[in-house]
């Protein structure tokens, strides 16, 4: 993630990520340090699978800690949003222009996105297309299977 990009989070998600970061930096780091010490005690490190696995776990852990620190440092907490235009935190109902089917989604920051739960990232083509639109506006975006077009039916 580029450091100038804002990460949009709800207050709850921000607190959840802070809690995860604290856990990783204290409990998980100690667990991995202990695993490394144990693996070192087994002897020859060049052929020590447990040592290699512990080192790999340590690298993954440190990557996650760095990612969380970046997210929290660049986070913008979203709260009550406008219901006149689509923004982070909006709950929108859209109508697919092809078959007039309707679906509802919440527009969220990328860290909270989960399409299966209807949580759409502002950075996704759909979320990006919907941002800033008003009730009654249409938007479209490209997908591998062609252009998708939607109309904003409601914003909450």
> Which token pair is 89?
């935190």
Q: Domain boundary at 30, 55, 78, which?
A: 78
Domain co-membership, 96 together with 47: no
Mean pLDDT (10-residue bins), the chain, 156 residues: 66 91 97 92 82 94 96 82 82 94 92 91 93 94 93 94
On whether residue 117 sits in a domain, the answer given is yes
Given the DSSP bridges, would you call strands 102-108 and 119-121 parallel, antiparallel or unpaired?
parallel
On whether residue 19 sits in a domain, the answer given is yes
On whether residue 56 sits in a domain, the answer given is yes
On whether residue 108 sits in a domain, the answer given is yes
Within 10 angstroms of residue 35's Cβ, the number of other Cβ atoms is 17
Q: What integer pLDDT is reported at residue 25 of this predicted model? A: 97
Nearest to 36 by CA among 51, 48, 49: 51
Total domains in the fold of the chain: 2
On whether residue 86 sits in a domain, the answer given is no
Q: What integer pLDDT is reported at residue 1 of this predicted model? A: 43
Q: What integer pLDDT is reported at residue 68 of this predicted model? A: 95
Q: What integer pLDDT is reported at residue 48 of this predicted model? A: 83
On whether residue 135 sits in a domain, the answer given is yes
Q: How distant, in Å, are the alpha carbons of 24, 34, 88, 119, 148 from that of 152?
A: 41, 54, 15, 16, 13
Q: How distant, in Å, are the alpha carbons of 56, 71, 85, 123 from that of 130?
A: 40, 23, 9, 10
Q: What integer pLDDT is reported at residue 2 of this predicted model? A: 45
């Amino acid at each position: 993630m580029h450091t100038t990009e804002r990460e949009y989070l709800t207050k709850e998600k921000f607190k959840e990520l802070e809690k995860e970061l604290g856990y990783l930096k204290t409990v998980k780091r100690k667990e991995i340090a202990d695993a490394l010490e144990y693996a070192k005690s087994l002897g020859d490190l060049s052929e020590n699978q447990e040592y290699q696995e512990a080192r790999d776990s340590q690298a993954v852990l440190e990557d996650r800690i760095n990612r969380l620190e970046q997210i929290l440092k660049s986070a913008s907490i979203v709260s009550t949003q406008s219901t006149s235009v689509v923004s982070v935190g909006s709950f929108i109902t859209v109508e697919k222009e092809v078959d007039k089917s309707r679906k509802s989604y919440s527009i969220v920051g990328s860290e909270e996105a989960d399409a299966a739960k209807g949580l759409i990232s502002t950075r996704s083509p759909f979320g990006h297309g919907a941002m800033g639109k008003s009730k009654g506006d249409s938007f479209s975006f490209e997908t591998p299977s062609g252009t998708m077009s939607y109309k904003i039916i409601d914003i909450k």
